[in-house]
Protein backbone atom coordinates (compact mmCIF):
# COMPACT_ATOMS: atom_id res chain seq x y z
CA UNK A 1 0.00 0.00 0.00
CA UNK A 2 1.59 3.29 -1.05
CA UNK A 3 1.06 6.83 0.21
CA UNK A 4 -0.53 7.71 -3.11
CA UNK A 5 -3.17 5.04 -2.63
CA UNK A 6 -4.31 6.04 0.85
CA UNK A 7 -5.03 9.57 2.01
CA UNK A 8 -3.63 10.38 5.47
CA UNK A 9 -5.95 9.66 8.38
CA UNK A 10 -8.32 7.54 6.31
CA UNK A 11 -9.89 5.22 8.92
CA UNK A 12 -9.07 1.53 8.57
CA UNK A 13 -11.28 -1.53 8.87
CA UNK A 14 -8.82 -3.96 10.40
CA UNK A 15 -11.41 -6.38 11.72
CA UNK A 16 -10.17 -5.72 15.25
CA UNK A 17 -11.91 -3.64 17.92
CA UNK A 18 -11.69 -2.31 21.45
CA UNK A 19 -12.18 -5.88 22.69
CA UNK A 20 -9.26 -7.30 20.71
CA UNK A 21 -6.18 -8.40 22.63
CA UNK A 22 -2.48 -8.40 21.84
CA UNK A 23 -2.60 -12.10 20.99
CA UNK A 24 -5.60 -11.54 18.70
CA UNK A 25 -3.69 -8.86 16.81
CA UNK A 26 -0.48 -10.87 16.54
CA UNK A 27 -2.09 -14.25 15.75
CA UNK A 28 -0.15 -15.96 12.98
CA UNK A 29 2.68 -13.41 12.94
CA UNK A 30 6.28 -14.58 13.28
CA UNK A 31 8.42 -11.68 14.48
CA UNK A 32 11.67 -13.65 14.59
CA UNK A 33 14.53 -11.42 13.53
CA UNK A 34 12.71 -8.21 14.47
CA UNK A 35 14.06 -6.13 17.36
CA UNK A 36 12.00 -3.63 19.36
CA UNK A 37 12.70 -1.24 22.20
CA UNK A 38 9.85 -0.53 24.64
CA UNK A 39 10.05 2.20 27.28
CA UNK A 40 8.23 1.64 30.56
CA UNK A 41 8.56 -2.09 29.91
CA UNK A 42 8.58 -3.17 33.55
CA UNK A 43 4.87 -2.75 34.20
CA UNK A 44 1.40 -2.06 32.85
CA UNK A 45 1.01 -1.71 29.11
CA UNK A 46 4.76 -1.79 28.53
CA UNK A 47 5.04 -5.18 30.19
CA UNK A 48 2.16 -6.61 28.16
CA UNK A 49 3.52 -5.07 24.95
CA UNK A 50 6.90 -6.67 25.65
CA UNK A 51 5.39 -10.04 26.52
CA UNK A 52 3.25 -10.16 23.40
CA UNK A 53 6.05 -9.20 21.00
CA UNK A 54 8.50 -11.62 22.62
CA UNK A 55 5.91 -14.43 22.58
CA UNK A 56 5.78 -14.06 18.80
CA UNK A 57 9.52 -14.29 18.33
CA UNK A 58 10.71 -10.68 18.53
CA UNK A 59 13.77 -9.55 20.44
CA UNK A 60 12.64 -6.87 22.89
CA UNK A 61 14.83 -4.37 24.72
CA UNK A 62 13.08 -3.57 27.99
CA UNK A 63 13.84 0.04 28.88
CA UNK A 64 12.83 1.11 32.37
CA UNK A 65 13.84 3.29 35.31
CA UNK A 66 14.01 0.67 38.08
CA UNK A 67 16.47 -2.15 37.25
CA UNK A 68 15.19 -4.51 39.94
CA UNK A 69 11.56 -4.14 38.84
CA UNK A 70 12.62 -4.53 35.22
CA UNK A 71 14.41 -7.82 35.96
CA UNK A 72 11.37 -9.09 37.87
CA UNK A 73 9.23 -8.27 34.84
CA UNK A 74 11.72 -10.04 32.59
CA UNK A 75 11.53 -13.12 34.80
CA UNK A 76 7.72 -13.12 34.69
CA UNK A 77 7.78 -13.08 30.89
CA UNK A 78 10.33 -15.89 30.70
CA UNK A 79 8.26 -17.94 33.14
CA UNK A 80 5.40 -17.77 30.63
CA UNK A 81 7.58 -17.91 27.50
CA UNK A 82 10.89 -19.67 28.26
CA UNK A 83 12.31 -18.82 24.85
CA UNK A 84 11.68 -15.07 25.14
CA UNK A 85 14.60 -13.03 23.78
CA UNK A 86 14.81 -10.08 26.15
CA UNK A 87 17.39 -7.40 26.92
CA UNK A 88 17.41 -4.67 29.55
CA UNK A 89 18.24 -0.98 29.37
CA UNK A 90 18.28 1.38 32.35
CA UNK A 91 16.79 4.78 31.55
CA UNK A 92 15.22 7.65 33.47
CA UNK A 93 13.17 9.75 31.06
CA UNK A 94 13.13 12.57 33.59
CA UNK A 95 16.87 13.08 33.10
CA UNK A 96 18.31 14.10 29.75
CA UNK A 97 21.72 12.86 30.91
CA UNK A 98 20.22 9.42 31.61
CA UNK A 99 18.53 9.36 28.20
CA UNK A 100 21.79 10.25 26.47
CA UNK A 101 23.69 7.60 28.43
CA UNK A 102 21.08 4.93 27.70
CA UNK A 103 21.08 5.84 24.01
CA UNK A 104 24.87 5.56 23.89
CA UNK A 105 24.77 2.14 25.55
CA UNK A 106 22.14 0.95 23.10
CA UNK A 107 24.07 2.22 20.08
CA UNK A 108 27.35 0.71 21.27
CA UNK A 109 26.74 -2.34 19.10
CA UNK A 110 25.54 -2.46 15.52
CA UNK A 111 22.45 -4.61 15.94
CA UNK A 112 19.29 -3.36 14.20
CA UNK A 113 16.23 -1.68 15.66
CA UNK A 114 12.97 -2.26 13.79
CA UNK A 115 10.51 -0.74 16.24
CA UNK A 116 10.70 1.97 18.90
CA UNK A 117 7.70 2.01 21.23
CA UNK A 118 7.57 5.14 23.38
CA UNK A 119 5.22 3.78 26.02
CA UNK A 120 6.36 5.14 29.40
CA UNK A 121 4.53 8.05 30.95
CA UNK A 122 3.11 9.79 33.98
CA UNK A 123 -0.38 11.23 34.37
CA UNK A 124 -2.06 14.05 36.29
CA UNK A 125 0.88 14.58 38.61
CA UNK A 126 1.15 17.38 41.14
CA UNK A 127 3.34 20.23 39.94
CA UNK A 128 6.90 18.98 39.82
CA UNK A 129 10.00 19.25 37.70
CA UNK A 130 12.50 16.93 36.08
CA UNK A 131 16.17 17.04 36.99
CA UNK A 132 16.64 19.46 34.09
CA UNK A 133 13.94 21.83 35.35
CA UNK A 134 11.09 20.96 32.98
CA UNK A 135 7.50 20.55 34.18
CA UNK A 136 7.48 16.83 34.73
CA UNK A 137 4.62 15.68 32.51
CA UNK A 138 6.02 17.66 29.56
CA UNK A 139 9.55 16.58 30.49
CA UNK A 140 8.93 12.86 30.94
CA UNK A 141 6.06 12.15 28.55
CA UNK A 142 7.47 14.23 25.69
CA UNK A 143 11.00 15.64 26.01
CA UNK A 144 12.64 12.47 27.36
CA UNK A 145 11.06 10.47 24.56
CA UNK A 146 11.89 13.16 22.01
CA UNK A 147 15.58 12.93 22.87
CA UNK A 148 15.56 9.12 22.92
CA UNK A 149 13.88 8.96 19.52
CA UNK A 150 16.22 11.58 18.06
CA UNK A 151 19.25 9.58 19.19
CA UNK A 152 17.92 6.23 17.92
CA UNK A 153 16.35 7.33 14.62
CA UNK A 154 19.59 6.85 12.65
CA UNK A 155 19.60 3.19 13.76
CA UNK A 156 15.95 2.84 12.75
CA UNK A 157 16.85 4.23 9.32
CA UNK A 158 19.67 1.71 9.01
CA UNK A 159 17.23 -1.07 9.95
CA UNK A 160 14.34 0.11 7.72
CA UNK A 161 11.56 -0.65 7.22
CA UNK A 162 10.98 0.43 10.80
CA UNK A 163 8.27 2.07 12.90
CA UNK A 164 7.96 4.40 15.86
CA UNK A 165 4.85 4.13 18.05
CA UNK A 166 4.18 6.98 20.49
CA UNK A 167 1.59 6.39 23.20
CA UNK A 168 -0.77 9.32 23.43
CA UNK A 169 -4.32 9.37 24.80
CA UNK A 170 -7.80 10.69 24.17
CA UNK A 171 -6.72 12.95 27.01
CA UNK A 172 -4.92 15.07 24.41
CA UNK A 173 -8.21 16.98 24.22
CA UNK A 174 -7.88 18.11 27.85
CA UNK A 175 -5.20 20.64 27.02
CA UNK A 176 -2.96 22.01 24.30
CA UNK A 177 0.73 22.79 24.27
CA UNK A 178 1.52 26.44 24.94
CA UNK A 179 4.68 27.00 22.90
CA UNK A 180 5.44 30.17 24.86
CA UNK A 181 5.01 28.57 28.29
CA UNK A 182 5.38 24.75 28.09
CA UNK A 183 6.59 24.54 31.71
CA UNK A 184 3.76 26.53 33.33
CA UNK A 185 6.18 29.20 34.48
CA UNK A 186 3.64 31.95 33.71
CA UNK A 187 0.32 30.11 34.15
CA UNK A 188 -1.51 28.43 37.00
CA UNK A 189 -0.76 24.73 36.89
CA UNK A 190 -3.56 22.25 36.26
CA UNK A 191 -2.63 18.54 36.19
CA UNK A 192 -5.07 17.65 33.40
CA UNK A 193 -4.22 20.68 31.30
CA UNK A 194 -0.57 19.63 31.56
CA UNK A 195 -1.41 16.02 30.77
CA UNK A 196 -3.46 17.06 27.75
CA UNK A 197 -0.59 19.20 26.52
CA UNK A 198 1.88 16.33 26.90
CA UNK A 199 -0.41 13.90 25.09
CA UNK A 200 -0.91 16.49 22.31
CA UNK A 201 2.88 16.64 22.05
CA UNK A 202 2.97 12.86 21.64
CA UNK A 203 0.70 13.02 18.59
CA UNK A 204 2.57 15.97 17.08
CA UNK A 205 5.85 14.12 17.69
CA UNK A 206 4.66 11.13 15.66
CA UNK A 207 3.45 13.41 12.87
CA UNK A 208 6.83 15.14 12.56
CA UNK A 209 8.91 11.95 12.85
CA UNK A 210 6.88 10.56 10.00
CA UNK A 211 7.32 13.66 7.84
CA UNK A 212 11.06 13.77 8.40
CA UNK A 213 11.82 10.06 8.07
CA UNK A 214 9.16 8.43 5.89
CA UNK A 215 11.31 8.71 2.76
CA UNK A 216 14.06 6.90 4.69
CA UNK A 217 11.81 3.96 5.55
CA UNK A 218 10.69 4.92 9.06
CA UNK A 219 6.98 5.50 9.71
CA UNK A 220 5.44 6.76 12.95
CA UNK A 221 2.05 6.45 14.64
CA UNK A 222 0.42 7.82 17.78
CA UNK A 223 -1.78 5.49 19.82
CA UNK A 224 -4.66 5.89 22.28
CA UNK A 225 -4.73 2.65 24.30
CA UNK A 226 -8.05 3.28 26.08
CA UNK A 227 -8.75 3.29 29.80
CA UNK A 228 -6.73 0.69 31.72
CA UNK A 229 -6.06 0.31 35.43
CA UNK A 230 -2.25 0.59 35.56
CA UNK A 231 0.40 2.39 37.60
CA UNK A 232 -0.16 5.41 35.34
CA UNK A 233 -2.89 6.42 37.78
CA UNK A 234 -0.66 6.37 40.86
CA UNK A 235 -1.25 10.09 41.45
CA UNK A 236 -5.01 9.84 41.01
CA UNK A 237 -6.38 10.91 44.37
CA UNK A 238 -10.16 10.72 44.88
CA UNK A 239 -10.36 14.45 44.10
CA UNK A 240 -8.37 14.04 40.89
CA UNK A 241 -10.47 11.04 39.84
CA UNK A 242 -13.68 13.02 40.41
CA UNK A 243 -12.26 15.86 38.33
CA UNK A 244 -11.54 13.40 35.54
CA UNK A 245 -15.03 11.89 35.73
CA UNK A 246 -16.55 15.36 35.48
CA UNK A 247 -14.52 16.01 32.34
CA UNK A 248 -15.43 12.75 30.61
CA UNK A 249 -19.07 12.55 31.65
CA UNK A 250 -20.12 13.24 28.04
CA UNK A 251 -18.04 10.37 26.67
CA UNK A 252 -19.56 7.13 28.03
CA UNK A 253 -17.17 4.92 26.06
CA UNK A 254 -14.26 6.42 28.00
CA UNK A 255 -15.64 4.76 31.13
CA UNK A 256 -15.30 1.26 29.70
CA UNK A 257 -12.12 -0.15 31.16
CA UNK A 258 -9.87 -2.42 29.14
CA UNK A 259 -7.60 -5.20 30.32
CA UNK A 260 -3.85 -4.71 29.77
CA UNK A 261 -4.07 -7.24 26.93
CA UNK A 262 -6.74 -5.12 25.26
CA UNK A 263 -5.01 -1.85 26.10
CA UNK A 264 -1.71 -2.88 24.53
CA UNK A 265 -3.37 -4.34 21.43
CA UNK A 266 -3.41 -1.05 19.50
CA UNK A 267 0.29 -0.53 20.27
CA UNK A 268 1.37 -3.88 18.85
CA UNK A 269 -1.05 -3.47 15.94
CA UNK A 270 0.50 -0.11 15.05
CA UNK A 271 3.98 -1.60 15.39
CA UNK A 272 3.39 -4.65 13.19
CA UNK A 273 0.25 -4.51 11.03
CA UNK A 274 0.77 -4.90 7.27
CA UNK A 275 -2.39 -2.83 6.88
CA UNK A 276 -0.27 0.18 7.82
CA UNK A 277 2.47 -0.40 5.24
CA UNK A 278 2.96 2.85 3.35
CA UNK A 279 1.09 4.87 5.96
CA UNK A 280 2.18 7.03 8.87
CA UNK A 281 1.74 10.20 10.87
CA UNK A 282 -1.64 8.92 12.02
CA UNK A 283 -3.50 8.37 15.30
CA UNK A 284 -4.79 4.92 16.15
CA UNK A 285 -7.30 3.63 18.68
CA UNK A 286 -9.10 0.31 19.09
CA UNK A 287 -6.68 -1.28 16.57
CA UNK A 288 -7.61 1.06 13.73
CA UNK A 289 -6.60 4.44 12.33
CA UNK A 290 -9.01 7.05 13.66
CA UNK A 291 -10.53 10.02 11.83
CA UNK A 292 -9.47 13.62 12.37
CA UNK A 293 -12.20 15.63 14.08
CA UNK A 294 -12.71 19.34 14.72
CA UNK A 295 -14.51 18.57 17.97
CA UNK A 296 -12.03 19.09 20.81
CA UNK A 297 -14.36 17.69 23.48
CA UNK A 298 -13.86 14.33 25.14
CA UNK A 299 -17.15 13.21 23.59
CA UNK A 300 -15.44 12.89 20.21
CA UNK A 301 -13.84 9.73 18.88
CA UNK A 302 -10.72 10.34 16.86
CA UNK A 303 -7.89 12.83 16.99
CA UNK A 304 -8.28 16.59 17.33
CA UNK A 305 -7.22 18.39 14.16
CA UNK A 306 -4.82 20.61 16.09
CA UNK A 307 -2.88 17.53 17.24
CA UNK A 308 -2.04 16.45 13.69
CA UNK A 309 -1.41 19.94 12.28
CA UNK A 310 1.89 19.64 10.38
CA UNK A 311 2.92 23.23 11.05
CA UNK A 312 2.43 22.80 14.79
CA UNK A 313 4.34 19.51 14.62
CA UNK A 314 7.29 21.34 13.06
CA UNK A 315 7.06 24.08 15.68
CA UNK A 316 7.12 21.53 18.50
CA UNK A 317 10.16 19.81 16.98
CA UNK A 318 12.08 23.11 16.83
CA UNK A 319 11.14 23.93 20.42
CA UNK A 320 12.11 20.44 21.62
CA UNK A 321 15.47 20.58 19.85
CA UNK A 322 16.22 23.87 21.58
CA UNK A 323 15.16 22.59 25.00
CA UNK A 324 17.08 19.30 24.93
CA UNK A 325 20.18 20.93 23.38
Q: Point out the catalytic residue in the list 14, 98, 103, 199.
A: 199
Q: How far apart are CA 98 and CA 143, in angstroms?
A: 12
Q: Point out the catalytic residue in the list 103, 159, 168, 194.
A: 168
**Residue 168 a catalytic site member:** yes
Q: How far apart are CA 192 and CA 259, in angstroms?
A: 23
Three-class SS of residue 99? helix
Q: Point out the catalytic residue in the list 95, 195, 213, 290.
A: 195
**Residue 169 a catalytic site member:** no
Q: How far apart are CA 319 and CA 325, in angstroms?
A: 10
Relative to beta strand 218-224, strand 162-167 is parallel
**Residue 2 a catalytic site member:** no
The two most distant CA atoms of the chain are separated, in Å, by 52
DSSP letter, residue 126:
P
Residues whose CB is less than 8 angstroms from the CB of residue 55 and which lie 6 or more positions away in sequence, other chains included: 23, 26, 80, 81, 84
Mind telling me the catalytic residues?
168, 195, 199
Amino acid sequence: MSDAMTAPHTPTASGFSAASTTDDVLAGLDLTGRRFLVTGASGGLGLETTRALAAHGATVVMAARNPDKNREAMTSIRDAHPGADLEELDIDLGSLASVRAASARFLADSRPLHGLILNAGIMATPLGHTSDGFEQQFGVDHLGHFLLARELLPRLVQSAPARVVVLSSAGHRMGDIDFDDPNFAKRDYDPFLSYGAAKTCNVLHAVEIDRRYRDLGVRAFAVHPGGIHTELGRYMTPEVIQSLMDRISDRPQALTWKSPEQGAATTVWAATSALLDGRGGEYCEDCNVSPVVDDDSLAAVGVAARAVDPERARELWVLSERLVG
